[in-house]
Amino acid sequence: MFKQCPAIMKRELFYMWRDKGLRNILLIGPLLGLFLFMGIYSHPRIDHITTAVVDLDQSEASRQVIAELRNTQDLEIACYPENFKQLEELVKRGEVMVGVVIPENYAKNIALQRQTRVAVVIDGANITYATNAASAVLTVTRNLGAQVGVKTLIARGIQPNQAKEAYQSIEFREEAWFNPTLNYAYFLVLALVLNIWQQCCMLASCMNIVGENGVRSWLQIKASGLSAFKLFCSKSIVHISVFMLLVLPVYYLAFVIFKLPLNCGIITFLLFTLIFAVSLHSLGTLISSFSSNAVDASRFGMVIALPSFVISGFTWPIAAMPQWFQPLAWVLPQTWFFQGINYFVLKNPGWEMMNRYFLVLGMMAVLCYSLSALFTHCFQARFR
Amino acid sequence: MEPVIKVSNLVQKIGRQILFNGLSFEVLPGESFGVFGLRGAGKTTLLHILAGVDRFKSGQVEVLGYNIKKSEKFKRDLGLVTQEKSLFLDMTVVENLDFMAALKKSSRSDVYQMIERYALKDLLAEPVILLAMGSFQRLSLACAMLNRPKLLIADEIIKDFDLYSRNLILRELRQFQAEGGTCVFGFSNIDFCEQLSKVGWLENGKLKVYEPESARAEWHRQIKLYAEQSDSHYV
């Protein structure tokens, strides 16, 4: 026992190190991802969204609209096309994301207290851009609407103070908790890097059984009388330790160097990462147990690992997914992990809420390892 | 004398094909038993069953006094050399010896002894995958002998490799038998008969046991028979 286990662990570590492809993927993948994503999301929010204004009225009032648009940091007026056709071309070519069309008689209609319509077009081809642009335009139009409303009330003989109060009687104050500046980096970077990490780990886990009994040296292991349990434990301890060692520099860079928020304690977060690593390893082992060779195991593993981030509900809420699909999403350990890191990193809702994440991931690990043992036994009986 | 191997009514199926249809034979201590047969006769499968590597459909197999379906204790005294390269190909010669020694719970001195006996000193740092066939087979036998086995199972141990390795391997096998070791060989070249005390001829799911000379005579008889049949066909 005391000689066999360290020897198996040493060999497993050497194997992972000597396999250049696996080594590079495991070592470089997550770190490269971190630098890449931190660079991409280094600017906390999208601003200076290119905007074109078609001013068909050319009046004092229309120039006031343009001034309001200019005052917002989120929008940047890039050009003034002469008509709607030109604006359409600019949006199609991607030169501007937002188009504002001030109609003819805009000033006259306001003066006559008639309804007038300012058209705002947004390029919806890029959802992130479109959402930010819509939010920025909404802020401007809300201010403008209020100003015009106040002026209208004053024109009808209501005192300026009363007119202002009429518009400010209900104040809706938006306040984003946990990520006050709505910083994309705080929300997305760590999850994206951990997504790369979990894919690499899954790839390595998928070799746990088939990497051994799928090669000729398995005959020597079997002939030696080494117990499958001892072999499995020794290999798995090395795998999970390597997974954790790989994530440590990522966490150091993310939380210490790049100052990403971590509202829970680092020990709690590491424990959560560890239970996920075990759960992920169990899933990889399960895949490995029924795969006929290493290539098949990698394929199955990637089929699960690649879409798991999208399925996890991190970027698109699970509640917005079809009813029938939602239980499937919760079957994957990745869903519990990505949901969990969002809570841990930004909210820290306390142990009472988070203990079920630990419990579920732990139970998944027990189930997957048990099924792996069963499949390995059955498949070996069938193949032999 | 208790047999080292006792096989009773062994049946093995691969899919629907019956590979062994009730094999029964014994191998006594100190014997050198050869399993002979043409390609596909099931030599390797039989040796793998005896080594406890493959499962079987029915029958009873006892190795070193243990029913191999119930116990793996016989593996402590077993050495295995397979037909295909079954050492750890991602490791060097010395790493293979060390790792196999750990698996077989052998001592460091056993490793040094095997390096000496199988002339592996100059190859220790070589990756196993780059070894010439003769050197590889010397290493395979060295690994199999690390636990000082009572029973050696070797499949096609002598192939068309360098004469130095061939002589060294044959010398060590003779030494092993002289010390009371029992061998079971799988072979397909009838000339290997001279190393054996008994030959089990595997054909059509049955095993027939011959004295080595009788096996050689039967082989030549069959060659002559098929040659005559072939000639008459063309006439």
Q: Say if B87 is an interface residue toward chain A (CB within 8 Å).
A: yes
More confident residue, A127 or B135: B135
Q: Say if B88 is an interface residue toward chain A (CB within 8 Å).
A: yes
Mutate to test the interface with B, among A1, A20, A217, A229 (most CBs of B within 10 A): A217
Report whether B28 contacts B3 (CB < 8 A): yes
- Sorted by where each starts, the structural domains of chain B and their CATH numbers stand as 5-234 (3.40.50.300)
Whether pLDDT at A172 is above 80 = no
Mutate to test the interface with A, among B78, B81, B86 (most CBs of A within 10 A): B86
On whether both A82 and A140 belong to a single domain, the answer is: yes
On whether both A223 and A161 belong to a single domain, the answer is: no
Which of A168, A191, A225 is the last residue before a domain boundary? A168
The 3-state secondary structure of A53-105, one letter per residue: EEECCCCHHHHHHHHHHHHCCCEEEEECCCCHHHHHHHHHCCCCCEEEEECCC
Identify the band that residue A334 occupies on the pLDDT scale cut at 50, 70 and 90: very high
pLDDT tens across A110-155, in order? Answer: 888 788 888 999 999 888 888 888 888 888 888 888 887 888 888 8
On whether both A192 and A138 belong to a single domain, the answer is: no
SS3 state of residue B119: coil
On whether both A300 and A223 belong to a single domain, the answer is: yes
Q: What does the pLDDT read at residue A113? A: 77
ipTM value: 0.91
Residue A80 counted as domain residue: yes
On whether both A157 and A218 belong to a single domain, the answer is: no
Decide: residue A13, CB within 10 A, 0-12 exposed, 13-18 middle, 19+ buried: middle
Residue A150 counted as domain residue: yes
pLDDT tens across B17-61, in order? Answer: 899 999 999 999 999 999 998 888 899 999 999 999 998 999 999
Residue A177 counted as domain residue: no
On whether both A25 and A68 belong to a single domain, the answer is: no
pLDDT tens across B185-203, in order? Answer: 999 888 888 889 999 999 9
Which pTM does this prediction carry?
0.84
On whether both A95 and A159 belong to a single domain, the answer is: yes
On whether both A291 and A368 belong to a single domain, the answer is: yes
B chain contacts of residue A225, beta-carbon cutoff 8 Å: 52, 72-73, 75-76, 78
On whether both A54 and A88 belong to a single domain, the answer is: yes
On whether both A98 and A68 belong to a single domain, the answer is: yes
A chain contacts of residue B85, beta-carbon cutoff 8 Å: 216
Whether pLDDT at A170 is above 80 = no
Residue A173 counted as domain residue: no
Q: Which of B80, B91, B98 sits opposite A219 (nearest CB)?
A: B80
pLDDT tens across B56-95, in order? Answer: 999 999 999 999 999 999 999 999 999 999 999 989 999 9
CATH number of the domain within which A142 lies: 3.40.1710.10
Residue A176 counted as domain residue: no
Q: What does the pLDDT read at residue B67? A: 96
Q: What does the pLDDT read at residue A128? A: 81
In angstroms, what separates the C-alpha of A312 from chain B's closest C-alpha?
Answer: 37
B chain contacts of residue A217, beta-carbon cutoff 8 Å: 86-89
Minimum CA–CA partner of A215 in chain B:
B86
How many domains would you assign to chain A?
A: 2
On whether both A314 and A205 belong to a single domain, the answer is: yes
Residue A175 counted as domain residue: no
On whether both A320 and A273 belong to a single domain, the answer is: yes
Residue A350 counted as domain residue: yes
Which of A133, A168, A203 is the last residue before a domain boundary? A168
pLDDT tens across B142-184, in order? Answer: 999 999 999 999 999 988 889 999 999 999 999 999 999 999 9
Whether pLDDT at A384 is above 60 = no
Residue A178 counted as domain residue: no
Residue B175 and residue B181: Cα distance in Å, rounded? 9
In the predicted model, what is the mean pLDDT of residues A266-282? 97
Query: Which residues numbered 28-57 in A keep a CB inside 8 Å of some CB on B?
Result: none
pLDDT tens across A57-85, in order? Answer: 999 989 988 998 888 888 999 999 999 99
Report whether B11 contacts B20 (CB < 8 A): yes
Q: Which domain holds residue A98?
A: 49-168
Which of A168, A201, A235 is the last residue before a domain boundary? A168
